[in-house]
Structure 1
């Protein structure tokens, strides 16, 4: 039962150093090791891409802070908050196959998870020849003008920059997927439904490109912004304490699925006590109503926030293999 993930863990350990390319000049470093960190189980990435040449308007004067939660030297479990320089950490494979994936980790819009839903997934993808980009997006409640749109603005800009620099990373701009977890799943779902929404003013040639992912995978995603299915913390951080019904509708991705949305991979554990499986079911229904190719996997156990490592020993354990097969089936990895 554990063989596939055990082999993957060994592969990731061997890949960690090889996947770290020299850092591009004049880019903001990845989030720091973190307060309370005594070790790094794997080397951190050293290459990043800043999303914006200059700080966005209404730049809040706050410090970026990284916190380590792990007490086990076998893994890190960090989160970062106070992000004022949104950026991507780049994981280059030893032998790129032309595919790329933008990863949007979760954190309830309170913070952005670094390892569990970011770097661990990126290492898995890089081991498969996929160039991975982990997005550290701005948090909507931390002083930004039009805060509810800043995570989507960062995700759109990230997709455009990946395509704009496709030659540099040896990727095919027509084979760029997105995957997101929890609140990062909301970012991913917003991107797959509102990729054409103008949520920021274009700044350079990259913004002439498309922000539409060629395939998208919201994993145990926050979707609904209205009760009873809404995740209360994410809704509050995104829309404020008392959002209007209009705001709830505007930021519920399942209500805005266009007919040209990309094919989707949906996954949720039915015992998720934090983000109800109803979120995934509502998104699936909306995608199917638009005849969007949708592969859905529901598992009886797994809880919330299992990522890769915490899926072990549960019915959801082999979801990464299903996901990689889906990437092949959709043509992202050939």
Structure 2
């Protein structure tokens, strides 16, 4: 059945996403705690938990690399501050945080982790809690990692990002969101996932698997926080680059996976945030994307702070001017009429 954008955004997909006969049953499967933590255990309290977890794809959408088994590890020694990571992600998913008084806005968050793992708390659940408490429905995207043995490793993060936007948009009526107020946010390597979606939201990186894939993958706004952007060795985060496209990529690969070289006029509005003293992902990554996007006429709001380093999230900004960044983001979302 062919569906145009008007049909998809009208809410007429409701029946399509809630009945098993329409092919979405597998991608709507709720992930259990055992699925989410693999074989690892931790004894730190975790005060923030999602309301629901949804797998992105039907069970038969792709072959999982042999031996790949997800595990969650706790990095924090502070019993009051959880800092978990998820690695070896075999079944990408969305962890959903629902507001008691939803405002219709939806934010999808891709955490960082150098394309080696995905950070759970610092670049996921912490921001989810803040946005949820202000009325936003939040989806944390735990995407597949390119060096884990996938047959199309270079494109699996982007495929998962596209699928996440399409699935969220197709579920708009079910989740009580506006399908034209979807914000995609990425931190660090998750910022590269976001920036790739910014410029390649319609790239054919996977074959459609169900009716949700008829929905557009272009988000309505995009946020990149201390993002990995360029594959240029002069400013690239080498670990992310090597895991994504290899240690010795040719010029064609470098260009294709450098979002600042693929900007276009139909990109959504962009919000950038970076600390000038970031010694992991140079601020030049954001500045290059800022300049390139601005030259296309894309609305860009960018904030560069003198101090903050890398990976500050929400909890590592105490006493610094960069601590204001969640309010800057919130106000920008309001100005973009996303709230």
TM-score by structure 1 length? Answer: 0.90
Among 173, 176, 187, the residue aligned to 2:179: 173
Q: Secondary structure at the match of 1:295?
A: strand
Alignment of 1:33-182 (within 5 A): 35=40, 37-61=42-66, 62-182=68-188
Q: Secondary structure at the match of 1:318?
A: helix
Encode CA deviations 1:41-93: one digit per residue, 9 max, x unaligned.
31422411111112543421211111100111211100011111000000000
CA distance in 2, matches of 1:263, 1:116: 25
Q: Is 2:30 aligned against 1:27?
A: yes
CA distance in 1, matches of 2:29, 2:156: 23
Find runs of 4+ consecutive structure 1 residues off by over 3 angstroms. 33-36
CA distance in 1, matches of 2:46, 2:38: 11
CA distance in 1, matches of 2:225, 2:122: 13
Encode CA deviations 1:266-318: one digit per residue, 9 max, x unaligned.
01000000000000000001110101000010000000000110112112111
Among 210, 218, 222, the residue aligned to 2:228: 222
Give the aligned partner of residue 327 of structure 2.
321
Decide whether aligned partners of structure 1 residues 33 and 312 sit closer, same or farther in structure 2, where only a CA change above 3 A counts.
farther
Q: What displacement does 1:240 show?
A: 1.4
Q: Secondary structure at the match of 1:206?
A: helix
Decide whether aligned partners of structure 1 residues 186 and 166 sit closer, same or farther in structure 2, where only a CA change above 3 A counts.
same
Q: Secondary structure at the match of 2:328?
A: helix
Q: Is 2:273 aligned against 1:267?
A: yes
* Count of residues in Structure 1 that have an aligned counterpart in Structure 2: 310
Q: Is 2:251 aligned against 1:250?
A: no
Structure 1 unaligned blocks of 5 or more: 1-23
Q: What displacement does 1:34 show?
A: 8.0
CA distance in 2, matches of 1:322, 1:29: 35
Give the aligned partner of residue 7 of structure 2.
none
- What root-mean-square deviation, in Å, do the aligned CA atoms of Structure 1 and Structure 2 show? 1.5
CA distance in 2, matches of 1:124, 1:210: 27
Give the aligned partner of residue 21 of structure 1.
none
Give the aligned partner of residue 23 of structure 2.
none
CA distance in 2, matches of 1:55, 1:145: 15
CA contact (8 A) 1:192 1:261 kept: yes
Q: Secondary structure at the match of 1:309?
A: coil
Structure 2 unaligned blocks of 5 or more: 1-26
TM-score by structure 2 length? Answer: 0.89
Q: What displacement does 1:212 show?
A: 0.5
Among 301, 308, 320, the residue aligned to 1:302: 308
CA distance in 2, matches of 1:307, 1:131: 19
